[in-house]
Amino acid sequence: MEGLLLRLSSLDADAENAVRVIGFFDRLIATRTSLDAIVRKASGLAECPLGVSSPARGLQVGGPTPAHATRRELEDGTIVWLARAGKPLPLDDMVLERFSIAVALSLELSRVPLPALGDPALVELVLSDSAGEAERSRALHLLELKPTTPLRVLAVKGTPTGLSAALGPLHAVLATNEIPDQDGEVGISTQVPAINAPAAWAEARTALRFASVSHPAVRADDLGSQIALASLPREEIAKLPDVIALDALDQQLLTVLAALARTNSNRKAATAIHRHHSTIPARIAQAETALGFPIDTPAGRFRLHLALVLRHLRDN
């Protein structure tokens, strides 16, 4: 990994190169590299001086802290710094952040040095599948969670409630006890040890794909084998005859069919969509003609439900 990085000045601040920088420091952590070697290797990567200063420990590596250096303070007052002459490079902040983590672990600090990042950044670190286990454990510790703490992760489309972070168009919420009510559609993972949060985040996003206005909160626990449907490519779902047939129906008829599949009762379906139950049989007959199969039998209802779910997954 060190050989792949070569020089920081040759890297753009894109996701691939950010992962390479993370991997560089993860390797130093995994191999229990000494503090002197961490400073030396990080300085070689950054092509500028980096150092560590801790008067309380009587520690100074890399020389005195330059006045123009960018600094980060660790939990015990130790200062880590990066001193670049001239314009900062795009990945300087990430290098200093990862350098501070490597230094903190080398010094066997009880807390990872992320005080300036706050809870959202710690949540993001906990959910990152590129973070090392030690790094994730330290972030969990700062959030007052243990690696073994039972945890659910929520993927929320609306405004989140609870310990959360914005990740792309969604918000991630960590829930250790009661699941807080959320604004908008939400996918809820199964309960896992907190150290496995990245897998739970992926599962929560999958569960969210099954959510809808009529069913805004979906638990992965409740999906059962249905969750496997989410692995089907959208372009393949779009080719299915039953899905194509549903696309040809008007929205009012689709609403009736969705209510029927959800309630398995003409009368309950009519109540759910505020229609008189006497209107439902005619709509069913219309749908059967368009779909090409009966929907008043168990097999027909299952086929209808499956087609509706697949169509929803194609679009979400």
Task: Examine the pLDDT at 264 and tell me if it is beyond 70.
Answer: yes
- Is residue 136 in some structural domain? yes
For position 57, what pLDDT does the model report? Answer: 64
CATH code assigned at 299? 1.10.10.2840
Q: State the pLDDT confidence band at 204, using cuts at 50, 70 and 90.
A: very high
Asked whether residue 222 falls in the same domain as residue 238, the answer is no
For the segment 266-274, the average pLDDT, to the nearest whole number, is 72
Task: Examine the pLDDT at 169 and tell me if it is beyond 90.
Answer: yes
- Is residue 112 in some structural domain? no
Asked whether residue 262 falls in the same domain as residue 210, the answer is no
- Is residue 111 in some structural domain? no
Cβ proximity of 202 and 192 under 8 Å: no
Asked whether residue 244 falls in the same domain as residue 225, the answer is no
Asked whether residue 225 falls in the same domain as residue 123, the answer is yes
Asked whether residue 209 falls in the same domain as residue 122, the answer is yes
Q: Residue 239 is encoded by which pair of tokens?
A: 């080719």
Among residues 211, 230, 249, which one ends one of the domains?
230
Instruction: Say which residue, 293 or 134, is predicted with more confidence.
Output: 293
Instruction: Say which residue, 109 or 38, is predicted with more confidence.
Output: 38
For the segment 272-286, the average pLDDT, to the nearest whole number, is 76
Task: Examine the pLDDT at 38 and tell me if it is beyond 80.
Answer: yes
Q: State the pLDDT confidence band at 134, using cuts at 50, 70 and 90.
A: low
Instruction: Write out pLDDT tens, residues 21-31.
Output: 888 998 898 88
Asked whether residue 22 falls in the same domain as residue 55, the answer is yes
Q: State the pLDDT confidence band at 229, using cuts at 50, 70 and 90.
A: very high
For position 206, what pLDDT does the model report? Answer: 98
CA 143, 148, 150, 156 torsion: positive or negative? positive
For the segment 79-90, the average pLDDT, to the nearest whole number, is 92
For the segment 120-146, the average pLDDT, to the nearest whole number, is 80
Among residues 209, 230, 251, which one ends one of the domains?
230
- Is residue 33 in some structural domain? yes
Domain that holds residue 34: 2-106
Asked whether residue 186 falls in the same domain as residue 236, the answer is no
Instruction: Say which residue, 114 or 190, is predicted with more confidence.
Output: 190
Domain count, the chain: 3
Asked whether residue 223 falls in the same domain as residue 239, the answer is no
User: At how many degrees (to 10) do helices 251-263 and 298-314 cross?
Assistant: 120
Q: State the pLDDT confidence band at 4, using cuts at 50, 70 and 90.
A: very low
Asked whether residue 180 falls in the same domain as residue 265, the answer is no
Among residues 201, 230, 259, which one ends one of the domains?
230
- Is residue 187 in some structural domain? yes
Asked whether residue 7 falls in the same domain as residue 42, the answer is yes
> How far apart, in Å, do the first and last CA atoms of the chain sit?
37
pTM here? Answer: 0.62
Q: State the pLDDT confidence band at 292, using cuts at 50, 70 and 90.
A: very high
Q: State the pLDDT confidence band at 63, using cuts at 50, 70 and 90.
A: confident
- Is residue 141 in some structural domain? yes
- Is residue 209 in some structural domain? yes
Q: State the pLDDT confidence band at 262, using cuts at 50, 70 and 90.
A: confident
Per DSSP bridges, beta strands 186-188 and 217-219 are parallel
Whole-angstrom distance, CA of residue 157 vs CA of residue 195: 24
Asked whether residue 198 falls in the same domain as residue 265, the answer is no
User: At how many degrees (to 10) do helices 251-263 and 280-291 cross?
Assistant: 100
- Is residue 238 in some structural domain? yes
Question: Picking from 141-145, 169-173, 193-197, which range would have the lowest pLDDT averaged per residue?
Answer: 141-145
Asked whether residue 166 falls in the same domain as residue 196, the answer is yes
